[in-house]
Amino acid sequence: MQRRKSTTKGFALTAGLLKQNIRKASESRGFAQSRVLTHWEEIAGADMAAISRPVEIGYGRGGLGATLTLLTTGANAPLLEMRKEELRERVNAIYGYNAIARIRVTQTAATGFSEGRVAFEHRAREQARPEPSPETRAEAHRATQGVGDDSLRAALERLGANVITKSHR
């Protein structure tokens, strides 16, 4: 009988080594399922994950469900507030039962300001703005001929060309 050769050459996989440390850090924040942290984009959807991060899960005294705290920026807080119930259902689908009773939206981290410095990645623009055609530029130039200041006229021409291009689309 031939022995099977190891493909790891004596090295353990990093995930196996770090699994206990990751679990311990996650559980200290209330995340019994670290999947909520590691797969947030899949759970919340790309649009909601771009504007939010899960910070902690807190359990109340009564034990009737937990509160998930989400970190967001000020301008995105109303958007997140409107979709809290949808997010709650998605997170509970990961747990397999109604583990999360409430979602709290915060604009700073729950435990301190230093953790509130979360880098929210901006989504890439879907497509670049098309350049205005020469006819559009000429039309914008004719519309701004009465402006005396050269820099103001150039800015108004660019603005006019963009507006005309957008209205033709």
Residue ranges of domains in the chain: 16-116, 134-168
For the whole model, what pTM was predicted? 0.49
Q: How confident is the model at residue 169 (pLDDT cuts 50, 70, 90)?
A: low
Task: Give the chain's end-to-end CA distance (angstroms, integer).
Answer: 72
d(CA 96, CA 98): 7
Angle at 116 between CA 114 and CA 67, to 5 degrees: 120
What is the pLDDT, as a whole number, of residue 41?
87
Helix (H) / strand (E) element for 70: namely strand 66-72
Query: Are 130 and 117 spatial neighbours (Cβ–Cβ below 8 Å)?
Result: no
Which class for 156: exposed (0-12), middle (13-18), buried (19 or more C-beta within 10 A)?
A: middle
SS (H, E, C) 74-97: HHHHHHHHHCHHHHHHHHHHHHCC
Q: How confident is the model at residue 162 (pLDDT cuts 50, 70, 90)?
A: confident
Q: Which residue has the tokens 């353990």?
A: 12
Give the architecture (CATH level 2) of 16-116: 2-Layer Sandwich (3.30)
Which token pair is 27? 């559980």
Percent of the chain at pLDDT exceeding 70: 64
